[in-house]
């Protein structure tokens, strides 16, 4: 008996060693290229960094950099709030859009393969440097819009938008404005939801058809089936997609705040201030993701 | 005696409809209406995604005067390949393409190799502090690269391992001019989106039944050998998928390449510099600034040139991108 438990322990130990060997690349990378730079950047954020020839020297300045970010700098607060506001609109809209498209693509119809291929195209089209250039293009489109507006030609949609926003008052108008904002950004949303569609689609395909059949026999309507079967079965993927979308939204290196952080570092060489801003931003990102996933994970339903 | 059942067949649609009290007609009409609405919706959404691409294609064949011609919308009046010639020259296309190909290949291979090992380790072995380390993986996904990049930049500028190199050479190494730093990052799972690949691969391995491995262990196969001979062939779809994603994202990335390989000419970097180069070129040749429209036209052409290899890859390996990812059964 004693011998047997010894063997078991040996096996466990062997597993532990093998496990650590397998993940060792990650551990090395994490310590040297993630934690170490992270701590260094935390230290730099409390310092004034002067780049000198052949190195850099730091003087400890306490929380001056953070003070500068929150109270002196004219744009930081504003940009941070704007990022949060963008996220609050973009994330739910992206999730709903992706879910809707996944439902659509999960149905049988002719040419489904082609349609799917096209919907996943944004994964390629909207990656890395493309987004930035596309963004500049949209700037150009904005100019075109202004020209069109000043030349007094009206479109059906703009007139409709005007009527709806003018007639609805107060809260309704604000809500409508959010909706119009989302509609205007539908291209960006479609571009940002390639991965999410795949994830939702994979989830939809794991739901067994016998469940739907049972529901149908019991006389459930399509609406009920959706809320009682489809939605709970996919709820764990909503969490995955939520986290992915929030990260994607925040880490978009073309956002104003990211640009500010990067230019402060590379152009002004103000490593201290740049690190302080980056740290504030990171804390906000981690907090938002933590809170959201905490709230959602309580409501997620796991089938198995 | 055989019981002959009498089945009345209704050949006519209207006859059947009458028999069902009009339900059939309502049902069929509803189905068709639904299909029609769906078709319109799908078409609209496809148009939304494809239109900018088509727009770029049509612009890229236009002469400059077509851009201002209000009668020209999508078919150019004076079709030309001039834009492509110029864009290729401005981007140093051949060299950049070659660099992009081998850098992306190398990076994605390294990344996928490292992430597969780590993902397998997380999926199959029990070891102390496993949860903590997996939390660390999630942390690497969440932390913006902008937070750690300045420090990494300095780290590689004055590279040293515990002062050893300084002892030997008298000064720390400057690794920034080579691709070594980025390769080091990729080999240790700290490259672009590495955390995501670890996560995906772990999910995939968790879905494979353990019996196969156990059989191998019983037969006396070692852990590494089991992994390479038994598990890896099974994991082909997810590995391909991660490789393709890594390749595409590396191809279009300009942040990491700009940070660690600033001397290297790759497509993504020369694409983002196209406007500046064009300005210089015009200043040298015509002594004026290029117009905004023409710059946009050149950028669109450059984007097409950059995207073309990726689109070809997507056409060939579309299944690899999509199917395997949907098989991996991602769960939290």
Q: What three-state secondary structure class fits B44?
A: helix
User: A87-91, A265-269, B39-43: which range is least confident on average?
Assistant: A265-269
Q: What is the pLDDT of residue B33?
A: 93
Q: Which two tokens stand for residue B76?
A: 């150019």
Q: What is the pLDDT of residue B316?
A: 85
Identity of the residue in B114, B155, B299 whose CB atom sits nearest the CB atom of A25: B114
Question: Does the beta carbon of A41 lie under 8 angstroms from any beta carbon of chain B?
Answer: yes
* Residue in the structure block whose two tokens are 């391909």: B240
The answer to whether residue B46 scores a pLDDT higher than 50 is yes
Q: What is the pLDDT of residue A1?
A: 46
Show the domains of chain A with their CATH numbers: 23-299 (1.10.3720.10)
Question: Does the beta carbon of A133 lie under 8 angstroms from any beta carbon of chain B?
Answer: yes
Band of residue B37 on the pLDDT scale cut at 50, 70, 90: very high
Interface predicted TM-score (ipTM): 0.80
User: A65-74, A160-169, B132-141: which range is least confident on average?
Assistant: A160-169
Identity of the residue in B50, B124, B136 whose CB atom sits nearest the CB atom of A118: B50
Task: Show residues of chain B in contact with A206, CB under 8 Å.
Answer: 329
Mean pLDDT for B157-163 is: 69
> In the predicted model, what is the mean pLDDT of chain B?
83
Pick the CATH number of B84-327 from 3.40.50.11540, 3.40.640.10, 3.40.190.10, 1.10.3720.10: 1.10.3720.10
Identity of the residue in B53, B292, B328 whose CB atom sits nearest the CB atom of A125: B53
Distance of alpha carbon B96 from the chain centroid: 19
Whether B150 sits inside 8 A of A275 (CB atoms) is yes
Question: Does the beta carbon of B180 lie under 8 angstroms from any beta carbon of chain A?
Answer: no
A175-182: Cβ within 8 A, 24+ apart: A178/A89, A181/A89, A182/A89, A182/A93
How far is the alpha carbon of B214 from chain A, nearest alpha carbon, in Å?
13
Band of residue B113 on the pLDDT scale cut at 50, 70, 90: very high
- Say if CB B182 and CB B107 are below 8 A apart: yes
Whether B48 sits inside 8 A of A186 (CB atoms) is yes
Whether A37 sits inside 8 A of B151 (CB atoms) is yes
How far is the alpha carbon of B206 from chain A, nearest alpha carbon, in Å?
14
The answer to whether residue A215 scores a pLDDT higher than 50 is yes
- Say if CB B146 and CB A261 are below 8 A apart: yes
How far is the alpha carbon of A129 from chain B, nearest alpha carbon, in Å?
6
Band of residue A266 on the pLDDT scale cut at 50, 70, 90: confident
Chain A neighbours among B 21-50 (CB < 8 Å)?
35, 38-39, 41-42, 45-46, 48-50
The answer to whether residue B71 scores a pLDDT higher than 50 is yes
Mean pLDDT for B276-286 is: 85
> In the predicted model, what is the mean pLDDT of chain A?
80
Q: Where are the domains of chain B?
A: 13-60, 84-327
| pLDDT 10s digits, A19-44 | 899 999 999 999 988 888 888 888 88
Task: Show residues of chain B in contact with A282, CB under 8 Å.
Answer: 143-144, 147
Task: Show residues of chain A in contact with B35, CB under 8 Å.
Answer: 109
Task: Determine what percent of chain A is predicted with pLDDT higher than 70.
Answer: 79
Q: Which two tokens stand for residue B193?
A: 């989106």
How far is the alpha carbon of A251 from chain B, nearest alpha carbon, in Å?
6
How far is the alpha carbon of A175 from chain B, nearest alpha carbon, in Å?
24
Q: What is the sign of the dihedral through the CA atoms of B196, B198, B203 and B208?
A: positive
User: What is each CA distance from A251 to A229, B89, B141, B299, in whole angstroms?
Assistant: 34, 33, 10, 24
Q: Number of Cβ pairs closer than 8 Å across A and B?
A: 239
Whether B296 sits inside 8 A of A289 (CB atoms) is no
Question: Does the beta carbon of A132 lie under 8 angstroms from any beta carbon of chain B?
Answer: yes
| pLDDT 10s digits, A172-197 | 667 777 777 777 778 878 888 888 88
Q: What is the pLDDT of residue B332?
A: 40
């Amino acid at each position: 008996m004693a011998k047997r438990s010894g063997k078991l322990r040996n096996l466990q130990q062997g597993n532990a060693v093998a496990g650590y060997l397998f993940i060792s690349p990650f551990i090395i990378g994490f310590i040297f290229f993630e934690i170490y730079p992270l701590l260094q950047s935390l230290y730099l954020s409390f310092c004034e960094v002067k780049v000198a020839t052949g190195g850099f020297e730091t003087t400890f300045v306490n929380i001056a950099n953070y003070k500068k970010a929150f109270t002196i700098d004219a744009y930081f607060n504003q940009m941070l709030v704007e990022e949060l506001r963008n996220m609050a609109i973009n994330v739910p809209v992206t999730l709903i859009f992706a879910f809707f498209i996944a439902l659509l693509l999960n149905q049988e119809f002719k040419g489904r393969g082609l349609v799917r291929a096209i919907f996943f195209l944004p994964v390629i089209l909207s990656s890395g440097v493309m987004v930035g250039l596309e963004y500049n293009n949209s700037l150009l489109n904005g100019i075109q819009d202004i020209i069109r507006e000043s030349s007094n030609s009206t479109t059906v949609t703009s007139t409709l938008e005007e009527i709806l926003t003018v007639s609805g008052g107060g809260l309704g108008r604000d809500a409508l404005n959010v909706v119009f904002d989302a509609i205007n950004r539908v291209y960006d949303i479609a571009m940002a939801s390639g991965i999410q569609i795949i994830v939702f689609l994979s989830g939809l395909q794991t739901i067994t058809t016998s469940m739907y059949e049972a529901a149908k026999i019991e006389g459930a309507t399509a609406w009920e089936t959706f809320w009682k079967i489809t939605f709970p079965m996919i709820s764990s993927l909503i969490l995955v997609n939520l986290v992915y979308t929030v990260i994607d939204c925040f880490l978009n290196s073309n956002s104003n705040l990211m640009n500010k952080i990067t230019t402060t570092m590379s152009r002004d060489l103000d490593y201290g201030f740049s690190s302080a801003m980056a740290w504030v931003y990171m804390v906000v990102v981690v907090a938002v993701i933590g809170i959201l996933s905490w709230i959602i994970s309580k409501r997620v339903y796991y089938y198995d | 005696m055989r019981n002959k059942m009498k089945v009345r067949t209704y050949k006519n649609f209207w006859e059947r409809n009458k028999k069902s009290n009009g339900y059939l007609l309502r049902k069929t009409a509803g189905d068709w209406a639904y299909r029609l609405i769906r078709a319109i919706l799908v078409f609209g959404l496809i148009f939304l995604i494809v239109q900018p691409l088509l727009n770029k294609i049509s612009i890229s064949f236009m002469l400059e005067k077509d851009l201002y011609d209000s009668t020209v919308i999508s078919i150019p009046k004076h079709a030309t390949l001039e834009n492509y010639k110029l864009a290729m020259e401005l981007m140093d296309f051949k060299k950049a393409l070659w660099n992009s190909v081998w850098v992306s290949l190398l990076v994605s291979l390294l990344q996928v190799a490292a992430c597969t090992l780590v993902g397998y380790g997380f999926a199959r072995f029990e070891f102390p502090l496993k949860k903590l380390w997996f939390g660390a993986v999630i942390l690497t996904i969440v932390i913006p690269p902008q937070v750690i990049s300045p420090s990494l930049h300095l780290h590689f500028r004055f590279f040293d391992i515990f002062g050893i190199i300084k002892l030997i050479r008298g000064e720390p190494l400057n690794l920034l001019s080579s691709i070594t730093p980025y390769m080091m990052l990729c080999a240790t799972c700290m490259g672009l989106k590495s955390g995501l690949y670890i996560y995906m691969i772990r999910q995939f391995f968790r879905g494979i039944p353990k019996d196969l491995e156990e059989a191998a262990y019983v037969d006396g196969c070692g852990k590494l050998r089991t992994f390479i001979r038994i598990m890896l062939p099974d994991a082909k779809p997810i590995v391909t998928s991660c490789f393709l994603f890594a390749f595409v994202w590396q191809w279009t990335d300009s942040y990491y390449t700009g940070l660690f390989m600033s001397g290297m000419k790759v497509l993504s970097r020369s694409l983002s510099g196209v406007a500046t180069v064009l300005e210089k070129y015009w200043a040298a040749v015509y002594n004026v600034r290029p117009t905004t429209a023409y710059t946009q036209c050149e950028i669109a052409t450059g984007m097409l040139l950059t995207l073309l290899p990726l689109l070809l890859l997507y056409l060939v390996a579309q299944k690899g991108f999509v199917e395997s990812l949907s098989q991996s059964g991602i769960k939290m």
